[in-house]
Amino acid sequence: MPVTSSTSSSGRASAARSASRARTAASAGATATDAAAPRLLLLDGHSLAYRAFYALPVENFSTTTGQPTNAVYGFTSMLINVLRDERPTHVAVAWDLPTPTFRHTQYAEYKAGRAETPSDFVGQVSLIHQVCEALAVVGVSAAGFEADDVIATLATAGSAAGMQVLVVTGDRDALQLVNDQVTVLMTRKGISDMTRFTPAEVEAKYGLSPTQYPDFAALRGDPSDNLPSVPGVGEKTATKWIQQFGSLAELVDRADEIGGKTGASLRAHLASVIRNRSLTELARDVPLPVGPDDLRQRPWDREAVHQLFDTLQFRVLRERLYAALATTPPPVEEGFDIEVTTLGPDEVTDWLAAHARGTGRTGLQVRGTWGRGTGLLSGLALATADGAAAWIDPTTLTPADLDALGTWLADPARPKAGHDVKGPMLALAELGLTLAGVTSDTALAAYLALPGQRTFDLGDLVARYLHRDLSAEPAGDGQLTLDGSGEAEQSQADAVRARACLELADELDADLERRSAATLLRDMELPLVTVLAGMERAGIAADQDHLLELAKHYGAEVTAVADQAHELVGRSFNLGSPKQLQQILFDELGLPKTKKIKTGYTTDADALAWLAVQSDHPLLPVLLRHRDVARLRTVIDSLLPMIDDAGRIHTTFNQTIAATGRLSSTDPNLQNIPIRTAEGRQIRQGFVVGAGYEELLTADYSQIEMRIMAHLSGDEGLIEAFGSGEDLHTFVAAEAFGLPVAEVDPELRRRIKAMSYGLAYGLSAFGLASQLGIAPDEAREHMDAYFARFGGVRDFLRGVVERARRDGYTETILGRRRYLPDLTSDNSQRRQMAERMALNAPIQGSAADIIKIAMLGVDRALREGAFTSRLLLQVHDELVLEIAPGERAQVEELVRTEMSAAYTMSVPLDVSVGSGRTWDEAAH
């Protein structure tokens, strides 16, 4: 008999949340009294933003649009942590305003001499405001007052109303607020290490009470606020005086009792000390539009968080946010009430006949492991349109079960919805099962709807689109034990996910229709999943002996080049250490300084290449060579462990990584092997035709980006160039500069080629100058000459940005959209980068779409023709096939036909083909 579990995921979700709340309370060490009292959390916005900016290296935190995010990331991380750990009931962030305060009126030199705000910090404060708004954290400021005064006013009012108050800041002036109800969390190191100041802690740290602290601060002075200290009086002396006299007022009255030079210095500077004391005192009666009761924590806006974190590319931080704030989630309904039937032996056929034989879509959840072209199935759940759900343990399948399940899975007339189904396809294939009829892959659908997002977690998408809680994962690791325990939890979790896929698919279908992307999913991305799964299973044969020899060769060369560098410098050093390279290049050799970074000056590959142009020192080419051979050795070292028992390497193709639609390759990345260098060709010689096949065939598009540019721009001169029969770049150079074709020298051709491709990718005159090693004015002259002859290209590029700014997105020739909200940003750096991306996306994205259409056409033609030859790899604009004996001519014709006909443009798609026993020999 089938085993039915009636446990609902909503009940399990509630229990999980209760357990999470209990764990959080325990970790915070809160008492029952603490939990009952209102807790007001006040944060000093600018203080914490600056702290985050200087704690995190800006070079490690920026978006692909060039927007620095170190301050935003650090502040947001700090905010998440303190909300998680302190569990406030009321929250606000106090902000400084750019206008003068009452302190400037009292003292014109207040804060004078502060360094100019770092350019990388500019624009980040507005993003922090957006983070706070998305998390429903109120921002408070007041004209004529500082954030400290706002905090002091709210803290005073909050404590008077019986609240426990927590102040988070990096400004020690806040210590004067500390009392039995007000605690200050002072950032101590970086953004995560804080000191909790209670009255006892202030006494222990400074030997003074919180009320005495501003007296001490007045004597000490504050260089950051341009408040002078008393010459010759340090913190120890200031503390001793306040302890001795009890207060600054008493000290001033009895200043003549202080002897020696320090006493004389104090008396000479009493006026500035008294002024300091007035300026250090925080105002506690600032007129504010809100009071503590108005700051109660509200549910945060999940969609706003998604959109903002997508823009900021905060993938990990988003995951931390949902995990850390699980006790105060955005409002979602409970989970999925579902009863799941665990099917026993010989029960699959009847269940499928009863529930999954109609035309309604079925949700599918496959549990297992997969990768490197294979997989292992450990469980399968189905959720049908009639509300039924079943779970299948593959180890219990009888031959009849397997036949019934295989027939249903392979039936294209039985629509199915799953999440990221390529991996499950690999696991099913190991049992001889084929998955067809997938009408929605919710990960792919979400990628088309939200191309700027970096991850597409099912639970996240369910909360975002369905406002439901997907939290019925089993306790522990969800794996079955030898005694069968854990089966109920696993089957329940899988069934919930199957149901979630089913309901989510409908919402995403509607969203894609609104975005005009439903056709892309149906006709391109979904069919491509099956093709890619087949390519991953096939892999490509590798010559292990050849790769081992290369590894040995490059290992020896790395050592030899390092020895050469040591000889030039006169001592041994670590060529991979930026710190040691900085010392040698800039301190010892006195070479021109590169870009300033937190740890000094950058020594990355671009910086070394720039230095090699600026200086003829013999060490620079040696360092560049070392980088090259070390990278090549790393590539080979990553390939060797990937060779399986059959002598083949299986990469994984990713459809949801690049916002432009390009496929990427991982584990190993076969798209990063150099093609135009001798060393890269040596590596490609290690990829060979496999047993039972005759040769490899490669086919790629010639100058596809420029052909797309000609088609999209409609520029008659560029279209003519493709029909001239001449070399494209030579012809374009001749036209642009009014020269006979025969007079275009290699250097001019090189420059025009770089410019043509650069324009397709949003290259500026400055970028072109850097790439060609010429002056920006000369680069601009080249671009002006180019646009004077090819005005259609200029008009197209201008129009792309204008349309994208108006519509909010760019489109490829097949309608793939890339959303660019930064096009309307008031931050010029973000806006300019978004403009370059707007120029890039239609051309690169269209090229990606065309090669995908070609892959689908080639695969379909191979199957319809019953060929044994098969697709192995896609590397940007190139396809690699393995050719069976006797099929060479037919397959080459097939490939040429399908690739040439992938899309009709005003200029033809030109396909180059080559073949050979190795990937390198097959080049053309």
Report the relative pairing of strands 817-819 and 809-811 from DSSP bridges: antiparallel
Residue numbers of the domain that contains 476: 338-539
Domain-embedded: residue 637: no
Indicate the pLDDT class of residue 689, thresholds 50, 70 and 90.
very high
Close Cβ partners of 565 (under 8 Å, ≥ 6 residues apart): 573, 575, 619, 622, 623, 626
Residue 345 and residue 314 in one domain: no
Residue 35 and residue 148 in one domain: yes
Residue 291 and residue 353 in one domain: no
d(C-alpha 640, C-alpha 660), whole Å: 31
Domain-embedded: residue 695: no
Q: What is the dihedral of CA 213, 217, 220, 224, to 10 degrees?
A: 140
Residue 314 and residue 459 in one domain: no
Residue type, 326: A
Residue 294 and residue 380 in one domain: no
**Which residue's entry shows tokens 């990278």?**
631
Average pLDDT over residues 402-418: 96
Distances (CA, A) of 898 to 142, 187, 532, 712, 859: 67, 63, 17, 22, 9
Domain-embedded: residue 451: yes
Residue 311 and residue 377 in one domain: no
Most confident of 50-59, 87-96, 822-831: 87-96
Helix (H/G/I), strand (E/B), else coil: 377: strand
d(C-alpha 626, C-alpha 633), whole Å: 10
On the 0-12 / 13-18 / 19+ scale of CB atoms within 10 A, 604 is middle
Looking at 520, 539, 558, the residue that finishes a domain is 539
Looking at 509, 539, 569, the residue that finishes a domain is 539
pLDDT digits (tens, 9 = 90+) for 514-569: 999 999 999 999 999 999 999 999 999 999 999 999 999 999 999 999 999 999 99
Total number of domains in the chain: 2
Between residues 598 and 861, the one the model is more confident about = 861
d(C-alpha 662, C-alpha 660), whole Å: 6
Range from 241-255, 403-417, 849-863 carrying the lowest mean pLDDT: 241-255
Residue 300 and residue 436 in one domain: no
CATH of the domain at 481: 3.30.420.10
Q: Which of 405, 389, 498 is nearest to 5 (CA)?
A: 389
Indicate the pLDDT class of residue 15, thresholds 50, 70 and 90.
very low
Looking at 523, 539, 555, the residue that finishes a domain is 539
The answer on pLDDT for 34 being more than 60 is: no
Indicate the pLDDT class of residue 482, thresholds 50, 70 and 90.
very low
Distances (CA, A) of 182 to 32, 86, 161, 164, 258: 18, 13, 12, 6, 35
172, 224 contact by CB (below 8 A): no
Residue 94 and residue 197 in one domain: yes
Residue 668: is the preceding peptide bond cis (ω within 30°)? yes
Distance between the two ends of the chain, CA-based, in angstroms? Answer: 63
The answer on pLDDT for 658 being more than 90 is: no
pLDDT digits (tens, 9 = 90+) for 86-110: 989 999 999 988 888 888 777 777 7
Beta bridge partners of 44: 94
Q: Note the pLDDT of residue 486.
A: 61
90, 40 contact by CB (below 8 A): yes
CB-side neighbour CA atoms (13 Å) of 327: 19
Indicate the pLDDT class of residue 6, thresholds 50, 70 and 90.
very low
Q: Note the pLDDT of residue 326.
A: 55
710, 718 contact by CB (below 8 A): yes
Range from 281-285, 428-432, 453-457 carrying the lowest mean pLDDT: 453-457
Domain-embedded: residue 126: yes
The answer on pLDDT for 664 being more than 80 is: yes
374, 649 contact by CB (below 8 A): no
Q: Note the pLDDT of residue 72.
A: 93
Domain-embedded: residue 241: no
Residue 363 and residue 317 in one domain: no
Average pLDDT over residues 14-26: 33
Q: Which long-range contacts (CB under 8 A, 24 or more apart) does 914-918 make?
A: 914/697, 914/698, 914/699, 915/695, 915/696, 915/697, 915/698, 915/883, 915/888, 916/695, 916/696, 917/688, 917/689, 917/695, 917/696, 918/543, 918/684, 918/685, 918/686, 918/687, 918/688, 918/689, 918/696
Residue 227 structure tokens = 């408040």
Residue type, 892: E
The answer on pLDDT for 4 being more than 60 is: no
CATH of the domain at 288: 3.40.50.1010
Domain-embedded: residue 144: yes
d(C-alpha 670, C-alpha 664), whole Å: 9
pLDDT cut 90: percent of the chain above it:
49
Between residues 22 and 709, the one the model is more confident about = 709
Residue 302 and residue 349 in one domain: no
Average pLDDT over residues 276-295: 88
The answer on pLDDT for 742 being more than 90 is: no
Distances (CA, A) of 744 to 694, 758, 780: 43, 20, 19
Residue 384 and residue 524 in one domain: yes
Domain-embedded: residue 609: no
Residue 349 and residue 291 in one domain: no
Domain-embedded: residue 350: yes
Between residues 102 and 430, the one the model is more confident about = 430
